[in-house]
A and B are shown apart, each in its own frame.
Chain A
Amino acid sequence: MSNKDISISKDMFAPAHIDPSKSEKIAKPSLNFWQDSWLRVRKNKGAVVSMVILGILIIMAFVGPMITPYTYDNQNTKHNNLPPRIQGIENVHWLPFDGTLARRDGTVYNAYEVRKVDAYYWFGTDNLGRDQFARIWKGTQVSLFIAFMAALVDMAIGVAYGAISGYLGGKTDSIMQRIIEVIVGIPNLIVVVLMILVLKPGIIPIIIALTITGWTSMARVVRAQVLKFKGQEFVLAAKTLGASNSSIIFKHMIPNMFGVIIINTMFSIPNAIFFEAFLSFIGLGLQEPHASLGTLVNSGFKSMIAFPYQMIIPSIIIALIMVCFNLVADGLRDALDPKMRD
């Protein structure tokens, strides 16, 4: 802490010039909302892997039923309950695609050889001899269709309801909110079951039943956002420039809430898949010969002990879809939620 003398030349003490613009440099290049979000999602490995898996599953849901020589509803009772067998890897015995089954006493036999069937059912066949490969991908297609439609309808109703309620405010808002409170108070299990009983099981009734209570969470989220935006300058500016109410809502407010809308929708998709499968289990799912993942798992349960593949493969697919959708939704929430932004 003392005045040490160091040999420093005198000219070092000349005034230096510093460019003021350098000390105020901007560290980050500017990105728009979507670029920024994508960069954030990309950092989340789980979300990216899930997106890839979901992409493959969605493609297979359309391509799968076409690449097998069998159709999903063609019955061939001579070929019923055959285990999975795939050309090429049928001799790799540690994989479950060698066409073998276990008897009750534990001995393993090749069902195709014993029953003299010269065919390859990649995921095996069900008790009516229908190709499980075609059925599973067809079922995936149906389940995804139901889920996406339900999510879309939820989104449409929820956004409209929430935007109107929040934007108009006052009495309208409080009445609309009381209605939501009552609807939320009704267990959706009851509503879904009742609706299916009234409408009879089918793709459209299931979608209706799922959406009849499903839109409330979206409506609440959108209303909260609209209330937030209502007092902000860009909305006031649009108003003073004479924009109509609908153009303020749809052109100015909703684009600003894409983030929350997408996150909410992403969470409602797996929820819809769950309820569809759930309905199949309590006997209110799709009727034969139609298949969804729920009906496939449900009928797989019935022959689980003898033919476990009939339950396990659709179970894995449904689990995979649910996990992936949840991970993507989590990733998007972390990426899009402005509260998390630093």
Chain B
Amino acid sequence: MEKILEVKDLRISFHTFSGEVQAIRGVNFDLYYGETLAIVGESGSGKSVTTKSIMRLLPENNSEIKSGQILFDGKDLTKLKDKDMQKIRGKDISMIFQDPMTSLNPTMKIGNQIMEPLIKHQNMSRHAAKERAIDLLKLVGIPKPEIRVDQYPHQFSGGMRQRVVIAIALACNPKVLIADEPTTALDVTIQAQILELMKDLQKKIDTSIIFITHDLGVVANVADRVAVMYGGKIVEIGTADEIFYNPQHPYTWGLISSMPDMDTDDEELFSIPGTPPDLLEPPKGDAFAPRNPYVMKIDLEQEPPFFKVSDTHYAATWLLHPDAPKVEPPEAVKRRQSQYQGTVGVGNGVALEKDKFPGKKEGK
């Protein structure tokens, strides 16, 4: 498969009053033609920052790309001039945002907002652009697009607005579509509709999608591959099946255990104890060590490298080192692993007592 986008050793810092926040600390991943890559992680893990940096939408006055490359079509996006970047935004790479209630300009007609990228990137006449806007509204499933096109955002419901945002993003048939938690702010029923719509549209216009979310349920629904981020780094990356049925990183274990599961009668929801690391002073070893129930001395000393699990599956945890003790993953993970054929790395080790982690599922 051919790569459309390559992110290499990306490091991004924010300069704040309290000091330098190292939001992204060496992120590597590739995006292939036509695939959907989900980036999963809790708030502050750096998933939004990574994608915003692909679009170069980070605030200019306080953010800095310390090192790394973002290769798109052979061009390094981090080095492009503002003018050249504007030609890529909305045309080759476009984006859908989290909150449809605030992401449309309240004083501009819907039609004009969809027409803007068409006029800018495809030199369409206003008339042709409007025709296309109506087609796009139809495509994203908005009834009576001829009337809707002349209305203002406040006349649309949340789900409808997100459809409009999707229409804007798809206006120029982008090669890459970045969806930053596009369903988080919506009702559950609407969420499903939007996800269906996105899957449907991907088939129609053949675009690659980077899908950011903290909701593993959504990931299972849409993703071909999954990257799990923690503390400004990718800690595990693999195909959706590999991540769901054979996770290796204890953080991924935690995420999977905290998913509500219909099949079991567990009364309590699992949560990962502790708080995300302070990226003002990133910890010396593994950023996840303080919250890791399987923590080893080396976790506190050295950052783990990526260990290869399969050709498509890598995880950055010392537990995969040949010298590491074999540990028992949580029940939920074990159940999933047993469903997966090529079971790897399940042996004896420190047993995890469930009572250790009372509490609720962490929000957001």
Contact = CB atoms under 8 A, between A and B. Distances in A.
28 contacts: A1-B28, A1-B306, A1-B314, A2-B308, A4-B305, A6-B305, A8-B298, A8-B321, A8-B323, A12-B296, A12-B297, A12-B323, A13-B298, A13-B324, A14-B296, A15-B294, A15-B296, A15-B297, A15-B325, A16-B289, A16-B300, A18-B289, A18-B290, A18-B295, A20-B274, A22-B290, A23-B274, A23-B291
Given A1-B306, A2-B308, A4-B305, A13 B295 contact: no
Given A1-B314, A20-B273, A13 B308 contact: no
Interface in A215-237: none
A116 interface: no
Q: Classify chain A: how many residues form its interface, as a range.
A: 10 to 19
B281 to A, nearest CB: 12
A240 interface: no
A18 B283 CA distance: 13
A105 interface: no
A1 B304 CA distance: 11
A16 B307 contact: no
A11 interface: yes
A12 to B, nearest CB: 4
Contacts of A35: none
B301 interface: yes
Contacts, number: 56
Interface string A245-277: 000000000000000000000000000000000
Contacts of B108: none
Interface of B: 28, 273-275, 289-291, 294-302, 305-308, 314, 318, 321, 323-325, 350
B296 A16 contact: yes
B235 to A, nearest CB: 13
Interface string A1-37: 1111010101111111010101110000000000000
A300 B301 CA distance: 76
A11 B350 CA distance: 16
A294 B363 CA distance: 60
A13 B275 contact: no
Contacts of B298: 8, 12-13
B166 to A, nearest CB: 33
B323 A1 contact: no
Given A3-B308, A24-B275, A13 B321 contact: yes
Q: Which of B297, B299, B302 has the most CB of A within 10 A?
A: B297
Contacts of A12: 296-298, 301, 323
Nearest to B320: A3
Contacts of B307: 3
A14 B297 contact: yes
Contacts of A8: 298, 302, 321, 323
Given A1-B314, A2-B306, A23-B275, A11 B297 contact: yes
A1 B308 contact: yes
Contacts of A3: 305, 307-308
Contacts of B299: 16
Nearest to B318: A13
Given A11-B297, A16-B296, A23-B291, 5 more contacts: A2-B306, A8-B323, A12-B297, A16-B300, A23-B275
